[in-house]
Amino acid sequence: MSSIFIDACYGRKVPRTPIWMMRQAGRYLPEYRALRIDHRMLELCRNPALVAEVTWQPLRRFPLDAAILFSDITVPFLALEIGFEIAPGVGPVVETPLRSAPQVAALSIDEMQGKLDFVAQAISLLKSELKVPLIGFAGAPFTLATYLVEGKPSRDYKTVRKMIYSEPHLWAALMEKLTDVTLSHLRIQAAAGVDALQVFDSWVGVLPAATYAAAVLPYMSRLWKGLSGLDIPLIHFGVGTWHLFPQIQSFKPHVVGVDSTVSIRAAAAGPLRDTVIQGNLDPACMFASQDVIAASVRSVLEEARGIRGHIFNLGHGVLPETPIDAVSQVVDLVHKGLD
């Protein structure tokens, strides 16, 4: 498959900037909300035909340059037999938060592949019909740990941060296990045929650089080494990670996704000079007038003009209730490019 998205990931010259959007499938689409009336979120994720359908939904409306598998970073928790739900409007809620050595020791990553067979089946269905690359993804060990240890979405990740400093051995044991979980989750998708992988370390930006170096980087380096045999581009994404860019660059992702607060030009001239950059339109701008949207898209394209490689995306996921016409306008503007 020739694709400007894949070419851009490898830093090859492309005729125009490719675009896809994090959370391009989801609640802003009426056809997604309609499916959710009869199916809980995790039920959608476990049903290959429905995963394929939801993955397709945004591609029927917009000429996006890549699809992203419909799933969630918490899906491997099903294989680990961790009791949890995805509470509507809240996010992942874990029945018994993981905070002790026996709980960590009891996590069993055996036979993940068999238990996540529905993921591979959905990918096969999609690959037989999609005309654009399919991106698979997984949560990074730290971001998975935030849900398991806090037990629910958190603002400040206090319990996790306390564990890192006060119980370093427990933290290390948990990160070892979660690195294996992330590796399996990604390898299953690669083996089933995805064309690229994105690792979401969404919340790791809350850690100071020295803490990241001691408590996260060794596991991310092991993760990246474990993926190095795969012949597909690997993307890293996190929110508020400017201070971590030198360390993120050290494990050599092909692409680094950046949030809307990052100056793409400054990152490309400094800490991300060796990688392709993905981002970073503020998803909130899509609620404004067409003029404001056009100016915002132009400003991202101008920031990225002349850098080593750029993939247009949002700084974080599409927000629920985003007007569909705004998404369409953004895709068209990026396809037209700067004059």
- Report, in Å, the least distance between residue 140 CB and ligand CP3: 9
Instruction: Tell me, by CB under 6 A, how many residues bind ligand CP3.
Output: 23
Neighbours of 82 (CB within 10 A): 18
Q: Is 265 a catalytic residue?
A: no
Site string for ligand CP3, 298-337 (x = CB under 6 A): -------------------x--------------------
Measured from the CB atom, the residue of 51 and 307 that comes closer to ligand CP3 is 51
Tell me which residues in 113-172 interact with ligand CP3 (CB under 6 A): 137, 153
Q: Is 88 in the site for ligand CP3 (CB under 6 A)?
A: yes
Of positions 18, 26, 257, 283, contacts ligand CP3 by CB under 6 A: 26
Task: Kindly report whether the peptide bond that precedes residue 280 is cis, defined as omega within 30 degrees of 0.
Answer: yes
The structure tokens listed for 330 are 């953004």
Residue 335 CB burial class (10 angstroms; 0-12, 13-18, ≥19): middle
Q: Is 241 in the site for ligand CP3 (CB under 6 A)?
A: no
Q: Is 161 a catalytic residue?
A: no
Measured from the CB atom, the residue of 236 and 307 that comes closer to ligand CP3 is 236
Measured from the CB atom, the residue of 11 and 47 that comes closer to ligand CP3 is 47
- Of 72, 117, 282, 298, which residue is the catalytic one? 72
Q: What is the dihedral of CA 239, 107, 222, 132, to 10 degrees?
A: -60
- Report, in Å, the least distance between residue 203 CB and ligand CP3: 7
Q: Is 27 a catalytic residue?
A: yes
Q: Is 41 in the site for ligand CP3 (CB under 6 A)?
A: yes
Of positions 31, 85, 91, 249, contacts ligand CP3 by CB under 6 A: 91
Of positions 8, 25, 132, 199, contacts ligand CP3 by CB under 6 A: 25
Tell me which residues in 63-82 interact with ligand CP3 (CB under 6 A): 68, 70, 72-74
Q: Which residues are catalytic?
A: 23, 27, 36, 72, 147
Q: Give the footprint of ligand CP3 on this chain (CB under 6 A).
A: 22-27, 36, 41, 68, 70, 72-74, 86, 88-89, 91-92, 137, 153, 200, 202, 317
